[in-house]
Amino acid sequence: MSNIDLDSYPRLVRGARLFWDNVRQQQFLLFPEGALVLNQTATDILKLCNGQHSVTNIVSTLSAKYSHPNIETDVFKLLNKIKQRGFLRL
């Protein structure tokens, strides 16, 4: 498996998708074996994981939206967790 770096163009694997639950008013990452509940930041990151945005672009987009000093670290942490679970490809 390759490592995630700033030049990677991540995307969700086939079978994994974002889903908004109107009843719970919550965003989920759905996959064949289950689902993960996502917070707003994770949702914003994963919406950009479509193979069209580099990690650099994702970090830049999130930096413009959130005033958080460690946004790059947070993006890498989430992407690595999702990749380790097998739901993200580069």
Give the pLDDT confidence of 7-34 residue by residue, as tens digits.
999 999 999 999 999 999 999 999 999 9
Whether 43 maps to a domain, the answer reads: yes
What pLDDT is attached to residue 68? 85
Residue 71 lies in a domain: yes
pLDDT of residue 2: 57
Asked, for residue 64, whether it belongs to a domain, the answer is yes
pLDDT over 80 (residue 86) = yes
pLDDT in tens, 29-45: 999 999 999 999 999 99
Would residue 37 count as lying in a domain? yes
Crossing angle of helices 55-65 and 71-84, in 10° steps, is 130
Nearest to 71 by CA among 37, 44, 33, 32: 44
Q: Which of 32, 26, 27, 28 is nearest to 13 (CA)?
A: 32
Question: Would you say residue 1 lies in a domain?
Answer: no
Q: Which domain holds residue 31?
A: 11-85
Within a domain: 2 = no
